[in-house]
C-alpha cells in the first residue's frame, strides 16, 4: 500500500495529452516554495482551516489523542500529538478538516485510473505519477502499478525531483514513457539553501537514466532569487550539453505561490514569501537562450 494525497483528472500540464496525475506522499526535498506541502511528509497529515472554526468543540470530543484544545474561541490542533488518524474529520460541522494521505491497493488505483482510458487514447495522454516524490514511495507497489498500466497500453510518465536511489529509477525504466525531471539550480550551495539538500544525487540520476535511453522532459522552476539570471540558465544549458542529456522538451515554469494557503492548514509557515517570478520578457529571453543552444522544444509553462 502507498499513501496518495490526490488524483487529479484531465491534467494537461503533466506530460503529453490529457492525463490523470497521481500525487504520492513523501519527499526528501523541502523546497521553500513547494506547491504541495501536504505531500512532503511520509505520514498522514491533518489539514484544518482554523480561521473559519466556530469553536463548537466536536472535534476535541472525538480525538483519541487529545490533540485538540480550545484557544480564543477556536479549536487548535497540537501537531505533536496529532497522528492524522482522521477521526475528527467527520465530526466537524463546517467540514473544515481533512486528512492528506489515503491508502489505495494497486488494484483500487488501477481501477480508478482506467476510468479515463478513453481520454488517454484520444489525446495521446496517460497517467503521470507525481508527488511529493513517487520515486521514494514503496517501490514494490509502484513497480507493480506501472507494470499493470504498461500491459494495458496506458502511457506512464514519472514526475520527479530526482532525489531518490538510482535503483528505484532502474526498476521503472522499462515501463516509463517519459520522465518529467526537475533541475532547479546547478549551484550545490544554493540547492541546499532553498531545497534543503544538495543536488549531487539528482544530477547523477539524470545522467544515468539518460545514458539508458530514457525520454526526458527537463522542467525548470524559474525563481529570480534561485536561478533567475542569464548566467544561471547558461550554466544549466552547459551542463545538459556537456553531459549529452537526452532532452525531448524543456519547460520553464515561472514561480507562483498557488500552494501557499495550504501551509497554515498544516500548521506550517510558508517559506517563499520573499521569492519572485522573473518578468515575462526575462522568461522569453531564457527561451531564446535555450533555442540558440540547440534546444528547440522549449516553452514557458508545463
The pLDDT tens digits of the residues spanning 3-59 come to 999 999 999 999 999 999 999 999 999 999 999 999 999 999 999 998 899 999 999
| Domain shared by 71 and 131, yes or no | no
Residue 229 shares a structural domain with residue 86: no
217 in the same domain as 91 = no
Does residue 128 share a domain with residue 81? no
What tens digit of pLDDT does each residue of 192-212 get? 999 999 999 999 999 999 999
Q: Is 55 in the same domain as 168?
A: no
Domain boundaries, position 148: 2-42+104-300
Q: What is the pLDDT of residue 96?
A: 96
Residue ranges of the chain with pLDDT lower than 50?
none
Domain shared by 129 and 270, yes or no: yes
This prediction's pTM: 0.95
CATH code at 128? 3.20.20.70
Last residue of a domain, one of 100, 120, 138: 100
Q: Which three cell numbers stand for residue 150?
A: 504498461
Q: Which of 79, 100, 121 is the last residue of a domain?
A: 100
Q: Are residues 86 and 142 in the same domain?
A: no
CATH number of the domain enclosing 77: 3.30.70.20
The predicted pLDDT at position 138 comes to 97
Pair 118, 174 in one domain: yes
In the chain, the number of structural domains is: 2
Amino acid at each position: 500500500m502507498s499513501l496518495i494525497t490526490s488524483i487529479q483528472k484531465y491534467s494537461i500540464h503533466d506530460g503529453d495529452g490529457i492525463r490523470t496525475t497521481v500525487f504520492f506522499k513523501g519527499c526528501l526535498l523541502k523546497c521553500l516554495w513547494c506547491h504541495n506541502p501536504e505531500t512532503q511528509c511520509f505520514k498522514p497529515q491533518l489539514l484544518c482551516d482554523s480561521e473559519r472554526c466556530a469553536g463548537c468543540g466536536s472535534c476535541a470530543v472525538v480525538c483519541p489523542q487529545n490533540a485538540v484544545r480550545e484557544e480564543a474561541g477556536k479549536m487548535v490542533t497540537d501537531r505533536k500529538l496529532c497522528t492524522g488518524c482522521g477521526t475528527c474529520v467527520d465530526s466537524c460541522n463546517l467540514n473544515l478538516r481533512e486528512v492528506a494521505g489515503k491508502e489505495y491497493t494497486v488494484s483500487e488505483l488501477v481501477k480508478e485510473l482506467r476510468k479515463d482510458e478513453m481520454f488517454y487514447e484520444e489525446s495521446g495522454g496517460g497517467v503521470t505519477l507525481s508527488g511529493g516524490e513517487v520515486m521514494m514511495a514503496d517501490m514494490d507497489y509502484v513497480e507493480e502499478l506501472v507494470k499493470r498500466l504498461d500491459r494495458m497500453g496506458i502511457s506512464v510518465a514519472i514526475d520527479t525531483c530526482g532525489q531518490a536511489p538510482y535503483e528505484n529509477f532502474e526498476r521503472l525504466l522499462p515501463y516509463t514513457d517519459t520522465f518529467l525531471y526537475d533541475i532547479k539550480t546547478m549551484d550545490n550551495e544554493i540547492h541546499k539553501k532553498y531545497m534543503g539538500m544538495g543536488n549531487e544525487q539528482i544530477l547523477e540520476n539524470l545522467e544515468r537514466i539518460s545514458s539508458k535511453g530514457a525520454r526526458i522532459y527537463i522542467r525548470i522552476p524559474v525563481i529570480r532569487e534561485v536561478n533567475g539570471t542569464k548566467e544561471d540558465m547558461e550554466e544549466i544549458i552547459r551542463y545538459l550539453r556537456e553531459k549529452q542529456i537526452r532532452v525531448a522538451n524543456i519547460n520553464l515554469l515561472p514561480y507562483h505561490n498557488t500552494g501557499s494557503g495550504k501551509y497554515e492548514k498544516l500548521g506550517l509557515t510558508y517559506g517563499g514569501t520573499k521569492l519572485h517570478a522573473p518578468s515575462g520578457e526575462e522568461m522569453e529571453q531564457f527561451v531564446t537562450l535555450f533555442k540558440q543552444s540547440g534546444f528547440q522544444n522549449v516553452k514557458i509553462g508545463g
